[in-house]
Structure 1
């Protein structure tokens, strides 16, 4: 059979193959002969047999090929495309059904008003602290709002507002996906969607609510004009300060009606919607002020881009600083400060639990009918307020001394075993001073940072530059303005001055802490490594996010709040287990549950390091800068106390943060200009030449603490160094150094029970040496030498000694 005949046979035979040529035919073809010999026809079951053979082969060595073939047959491009189109059709069908099923709710003003319920705040014992949440709203017609002010909201939230269909498909899809994955909403809503959420729906973050929001937004966009939607949006949004709607916001922030708002003011209100409390200028941190300023600029730049504002007009605009807030019913005295912190911590938890933004969390908390129980102890709160009045505010006279008008006090009291904030003082009155002095972080903690440096040294087992361990008894050079040197003996360009430029010569770390000697802790910080110091500071609870690890930080130059410092010292008091102060005891709502986290975390520094710092800090009270106000206070009834004073170089802040075994309290005084609110110096306040941490702050601390703490509590310390377990004494270098020998034996072994904190009956020698020793002094130890012997090292390389 020729090739033509074979082709015809295949065509006529359908799926049957043409008979194969025999070997004889192949040989004939090879030999060039024309005769062919056709072989016998294939057996009737040949194809089935071939298939069985192929299948059998696939089970053997051809298993992989057969498996791949089955996968290819299962996932063909036609099937994949068909499945995709099927899913799309199902989705479209479901959306059409939803669109037909969901209608725009009837006028929801009444329902919305009903949703705005007062929050009830309670003390820890269940008694009512305050009922907060009277809705402050006044609807205004859009015609009453200047056109360019209208544009500020569009520029801030949704530049395509006038052209879109009411929804942002990408943003909505992203929001749905995040919600299903438990990540919460991530923005992307149009003005129409936000209006629908505010006016027709709830603030809950669920898939069903988001789908309803999308459908209703499409229908609202078809049935309402853009102006009507914009009017609804700016009249229902929450602006902070209890203000709902642009009219209430205009009055709350600028004391004008909405029709009198300038473009700059409108841009601020539009920017504010992203995070009302965080962006409120009067209460914002430096970071918050920077963020809202950036967003204000973003709004105006968008207006220029859209042609709603000329470049010349834009350049003339200056940031419009809002006025202080008006009093709000239910927030007088300290209540406003307590409510604000409780709200903020509840918002923090909702953000973490639901993955929502600050603005969304705030909308879910304010006026939403929560019952919020605080950890505030009614008795301790009253005692703290009483102490501030008795020891500070009653002594200030603005008429006699103008500087007295610039003094602000803040305090936070924390139970170290539970992390509960049991008392808080935010300022003279929430109506008179909107910013809470208890939580503000814009003032330096000064020398209250020194225990953090020592904690880092002990935690890292750091050594001096001559290789000697840093302990409470290590000797450093306490000369004022002594240049700090690095491990190579090179000066690092930092030589801090001691208070009053006093020289101490060679002193122990214990005495340096007692006397708050800057030059010693500056050198110690470099010996430890400032990176380690800042790392330990962060572990203890300070915010070091934007801080540099430089020697100047040893003076406590980063910002901190009494709330933060109370947490740091509570962690020390709690033997190194992290304490994150919490004012929230529980938060209840009829439609949601919030899990309040445990304020006590894991161990962030070793118990030995924490207990050693506590031991050293008892010396500050009994033989240091807090001795007069705390140790010798007539109200003290045997309480064991550790703590540290702090006074900034320019006297803009003064602190005392201290603790007993059962309670930690941080008190800060801040100089703030009564009119401009800028930081100012406190010299002369209260008739004092200089406001020191051992003055008003320590006096407030003692007046409060010695009335509410247990008199029989003892520090349970696992350490063999520091003033709590051995007497504090400073060698007086000479040819034959001598020491003040205590009348009682110092503790020489690691205590298994609460160590004694009794002091020598005679005051230890703390005077600086009369002359610089020519050789490394070797002081005579007490009769029973402590197990942690004095380590002599002036903090310099050996060649400098």
Structure 2
């Protein structure tokens, strides 16, 4: 018996299989010889030619029959139905507790001392009869079009939510109005399986026991609309300064749209993206009303978006407190969504507003005071709106970050939370201008980019610094030629000197040399939100939007040798019902260390020999501190920046021109009485007030004098090892690299410069002879150019 036959015999109980029959022999052929014992079997060593009998089913196949599978399935269905019936009978509609659930939130500085306590409830319920019918329908159109006909639950959406929760995939919205009301009023915002099942049962019972009007009234009176407002009456007052009964359908549609993400869609807080999403949601609500035949299509076409009124600050939030609390809340809400503890930002906001949190910020109380004092002494103390109307339009913002830990140590959101609700430190609607130029250089170094003639881009690469020079992409002009500050022509100029003087034409060409898609990719890796940004040469001027918080993170990553730093304002967030993990602000290496360190080295030249030298390098409090940084001034002087850093502290300061009444972006020219040499209102440059604020704060807040530890052989911080060459002639191509690999000479970062950045260099021999020297020198107080493309390069 072969092994296979023995194994099969054991499976059949130890009996050997009957021998297979041979096929009948051909006619006339001999009959097969009988096997011993009277049975005729196959010849030894040969397979039977007869058809094999089908072996019986194995145990696994016997176990899984269609009858058993169907029986198991129906049994499970009956079990689930029985369990649901039992749950339905067991769970009762609880007493409403929305007001009782509200608790105080406690906010602390990093040392544990008290910053603020919040928890006052802004809610006033109104009868549904006091809300116009069209306004009522905006909420139904926004959240639950089948509300008047459904049974109060979305079984498919609830099942999906339970499954996602069980599998750790996070949560999502999509509940009916009845379910949302139950969550707001009877339960809580916790995203757990038991809470979802309770919500399902209570919603079914509530829909059977109460009218649709009762449920809708409860929903609009308990929902959170942002600005601390619970309920439609408080929301109507917060956004439109009127009672709910006076709301128009357009206003009602905006309030209904807010419920998806109150802070994100708040017109006073929203970024350009947030405003676009808010309008899209508003249009969605009104279009749904037309589809439901609740709104005339012709009337719908004439409706204009109802811009809300400016918000009013909550009590106890004066000064910088409100800005810090709002920033902490926003950070916590994002974490709740990211960790699956909230379905949407709207849910997360409601969870935070209901209180019970103890939130410790990374804000250092001493550094916070030092930053506030620096802004007051260097800028706001000199503003006089009664004397100069432009002074009322100046909005400063600043963020200070520890590059080694990612902690936000100080934040300046505006003169007063009561006077200006929007946080200037986190707003992203103003251009960062030339503070973006280091990102272009970082991309060139990280990608190993080359010039048009195939030479590597380094601190010593020579570019054509002619103002307005058309950018070339391998022989073809790209239709972009930005002017330099005051249309100054620099001729052949090194990258180091171009960074010092913030030469637009050089970095526009460099961006194309690197590839703008690569530049924007590196910008995203460093910490800039590049979603929706076009990779076009105009971005080399920093024409996108950015916040001081964002720019501080980018420069902190450079300071941290290319290892990602995501500024974190929250140290910890504790709640009796849940735990929130705060992610490590320090991430992975996003650009090579040598690339980041080379950018830092180059940026020391901006301070010692460039546009920031007067305010930073010459500051008596510097005491030999090594500093890297970059100035920036945007189109038409609507914003001015200085973002700079020492080895242990990164701070970004921005000034924004915002009309005090309309909140439109306006120029800063002439603010604080700044005049040019001819007595005219002067441009507010990044090297002026922003750099002065930075220096006053940093040199007071830093812990001792320190120097950068850089892995590079390039840039102003590195002393030259080879004498500069004077024998080469600049190439006729747009850019080339000098044969000498030595950096161009620069002042030691521990000494004061021997000349001003606005004067022609007299003590430093050029790395290359220039065939076309600058035709004009930028004045100390440059005047805003009349050119429609305002260069924004300092």
TM class by shorter chain equals 0.7 to 0.9
CA contact (8 A) 1:342 1:584 kept: yes
Structure 1 residues 147, 748: closer, same or farther in 2, change over 3 A?
A: closer
CA contact (8 A) 1:619 1:728 kept: no
Pair 1:527-2:513 in alignment: yes
CA contact (8 A) 1:166 1:192 kept: yes
Which runs of structure 2 are paired with 1:492-503 in the superposition (5 Å)? 492-503=478-489
CA contact (8 A) 2:258 2:266 kept: yes
Instruction: Give the drift of 1:648.
Output: 1.3
Deviations 1:319-339 (A, max 9, x none): 111111122012111111111
3-state SS in 2 of match to 1:423? strand
Structure 1 residues 757, 635: closer, same or farther in 2, change over 3 A?
A: closer
Alignment match, 1:600: 586
Alignment partner of 2:392 out of 405, 413, 418: 405
Alignment match, 1:108: 96
- Distance in 1 (alpha carbons) for counterparts of 2:723 and 2:505: 17
Alignment match, 1:676: 662
Alignment match, 2:217: 231
Instruction: Give the drift of 1:676.
Output: 1.2
Instruction: Give the drift of 1:569.
Output: 0.4
3-state SS in 1 of match to 2:477? coil
Alignment match, 2:76: 87
Alignment match, 1:714: 707
Structure 1 residues 197, 771: closer, same or farther in 2, change over 3 A?
A: closer
Alignment partner of 1:726 out of 710, 719, 724: 719
Structure with greater Cα Rg:
1
Structure 1 residues 71, 321: closer, same or farther in 2, change over 3 A?
A: same
Alignment match, 1:695: 688
Alignment match, 1:780: none
- Distance in 1 (alpha carbons) for counterparts of 2:486 and 2:459: 24
Instruction: Give the drift of 1:758.
Output: 4.7
RMSD between aligned alpha carbons? 3.1
- Distance in 1 (alpha carbons) for counterparts of 2:638 and 2:176: 46
Alignment match, 1:434: 421
- Distance in 1 (alpha carbons) for counterparts of 2:96 and 2:604: 63
Alignment match, 2:12: none
Alignment match, 1:39: none
Pair 1:443-2:436 in alignment: no
Instruction: Give the drift of 1:70.
Output: 4.9
User: 5+ residue gaps in structure 1?
Assistant: 1-22, 28-42, 51-56, 738-745, 750-754, 775-801
Pair 1:629-2:615 in alignment: yes
- Distance in 1 (alpha carbons) for counterparts of 2:673 and 2:724: 37
Deviations 1:470-503 (A, max 9, x none): 111111111111111112x221111110001011
TM-score (norm 2): 0.85
Q: Which moved more, 1:322-331 or 1:279-288?
A: 322-331
Structure 1 residues 66, 715: closer, same or farther in 2, change over 3 A?
A: farther
Alignment partner of 2:380 out of 380, 388, 393: 393
Deviations 1:379-431 (A, max 9, x none): 11111111111111111121222111111111000000000000001111112
Larger helix percent:
1
Alignment match, 1:314: 300
TM-score (norm 1): 0.84
CA contact (8 A) 2:723 2:742 kept: no
Deviations 1:270-317 (A, max 9, x none): 111111111111111111111111111111111121121212332232
- Distance in 2 (alpha carbons) for counterparts of 1:524 and 1:730: 26
Structure 1 residues 645, 660: closer, same or farther in 2, change over 3 A?
A: same
Instruction: Give the drift of 1:68.
Output: 6.5
Pair 1:354-2:340 in alignment: yes
Pair 1:460-2:447 in alignment: yes
Pair 1:471-2:458 in alignment: yes
Q: Which moved more, 1:574-583 or 1:71-80?
A: 71-80
Pair 1:74-2:66 in alignment: no
Structure 1 residues 770, 727: closer, same or farther in 2, change over 3 A?
A: closer
Alignment partner of 1:339 out of 320, 325, 329: 325
3-state SS in 2 of match to 1:424? strand
- Distance in 2 (alpha carbons) for counterparts of 1:393 and 1:369: 37
CA contact (8 A) 2:669 2:683 kept: yes
Alignment match, 2:777: none
Alignment partner of 2:598 out of 575, 591, 612: 612
- Distance in 1 (alpha carbons) for counterparts of 2:656 and 2:766: 32
Instruction: Give the drift of 1:768.
Output: 9.1
Alignment match, 1:743: none
Instruction: Give the drift of 1:756.
Output: 7.0
3-state SS in 2 of match to 1:650? helix
Structure 1 residues 68, 527: closer, same or farther in 2, change over 3 A?
A: farther
3-state SS in 1 of match to 2:517? helix
3-state SS in 1 of match to 2:339? helix
User: 5+ residue gaps in structure 2?
Assistant: 1-22, 28-36, 42-46, 675-681, 731-739, 756-760, 773-794
- Distance in 2 (alpha carbons) for counterparts of 1:693 and 1:757: 20
3-state SS in 2 of match to 1:408? strand
Alignment partner of 1:485 out of 469, 472, 477: 472
Alignment partner of 1:119 out of 99, 105, 108: 105
Aligned residues: 710
- Distance in 2 (alpha carbons) for counterparts of 1:458 and 1:121: 42
Alignment match, 2:7: none
